Amino acid sequence: MRLLYPLAISAFLLVGCANNQQSDALKAEAQRTTPQCQSDDECQVMWSAARRWVLSNAGTKIQNYGADYLDTYNPIANSPRLAAQVSKDAIGSGKYQIIAKLWCDNIFGCQPGAWEALVDFNRSVNTAAGKN
């Protein structure tokens, strides 16, 4: 029995380290794939894709929607479902970034995970404009 405790603690720590590495990789991928647009047409297509993604994946309805900002209602208490805040921000030279913030109100995490969902958001928005 004495041997089981150190083994259980070691296994728990290893899983925690693996999760941190996966989380770091997802963060890096999210930063690398942040959607960018330049022309009005391209930005409109990408903004529309961002709205569609939020409608399909957020756990609450859109509360505010405009030409360069949208957000959902706050997450439901203790729910792993996502809430979202998305903005289209100027970055100079006529270019814009579409940045999403995703979160939930659950001590055990979101479903899907917020970083995993952000990578999916970025890919979906980029794909809508023919970018990979």
Q: Cα(15)–Cα(6) distance, rounded to whole angstroms? A: 14
For position 26, what pLDDT does the model report? 86
Beta bridge partners of 99: 87
* DSSP string of the chain, one letter each residue: -TTHHHHHHHHHHHHHHHHHHHHHHHHHHHHHT--EE-SHHHHHHHHHHHHHHHHHH-SS-EEEE-SSEEEEPPPPTT--S-EEEEEEEEEETTEEEEEEEEE-S-TT--SS-HHHHHHHHHHHHHHHTT--
50 within 8 A of 100, measured Cβ to Cβ: yes
pLDDT at 4: 54
Give the tens place of pLDDT for each residue, 21-43: 678 998 999 999 999 999 999 99
CATH class of 33-128: alpha beta
Maximum Cα–Cα distance across the chain: 66
pTM for the model = 0.83
pLDDT one-digit tens code per residue, 2-28: 555 554 444 444 444 445 667 899 899
Take residue 88 and report the two structure tokens written for it: 């289209």
Supply the pLDDT for residue 21: 62
CB 130 within 8 A of CB 42: no
Q: Which of 117, 68, 118 is nearest to 91 (CA)?
A: 68
pLDDT digit string, tens, across residues 29-78 = 999 999 999 999 999 999 999 999 999 999 999 999 999 999 999 999 99
